Structure 1
Amino acid sequence: MYKLVGTVLVKQELAEAKANVKKRIEYISAELKRMDRALKALDEKQNSKKESFCFQVYDEAQGDLPARAMARVMD
């Protein structure tokens, strides 16, 4: 087994090559898990903001109803 170091191929033990590949796979797996957690956190944050916005719009609409009803009675 050989590995490329700069422009030179250097002989490498098979066990060392397998260990390097295993470490890379572990690193990539850890990064994927980290990104999944970050994405989940952002989704939860987005949903909470969306929910609070909907409640705010609903509350504003409910607060505006009595004024509209009173304006119709006065007409």
Structure 2
Amino acid sequence: MKAIGRFNVSTIQFEVSTKPFAKVTYRFVKVTCNFKVRIIQFEVMAKSFTKVTYGFGVGTNRFDKGPVSRLKTLTP
């Protein structure tokens, strides 16, 4: 298990696609509030993964993928 990176999203809703039987855990390390937008920094820990996709949301419990330019996809 090693950290594959740190990412910033404004909501905690995101998805992680992993290879079969890979264990994935999430460790939230920081939460800040600025202009009513929650920025949550988290680490994705995985033995192996295929991609990480997340988007930006504004407001409480609102997840908005928004335009394609706002979508972020990470690959190993």
TM-score category of the 2 structures, normalised to the smaller one: under 0.3
Structure ranking higher in helix proportion: 1
Q: Normalising by the residue count of structure 2, what TM-score does the alignment of the two structures yield?
A: 0.17
- Structure (1 or 2) with the larger CA radius of gyration: 1
Structure ranking higher in strand proportion: 2
Of structures 1 and 2, the one scoring higher in RCO (CA 8 A, sep 6+) is 2
Q: Normalising by the residue count of structure 1, what TM-score does the alignment of the two structures yield?
A: 0.17
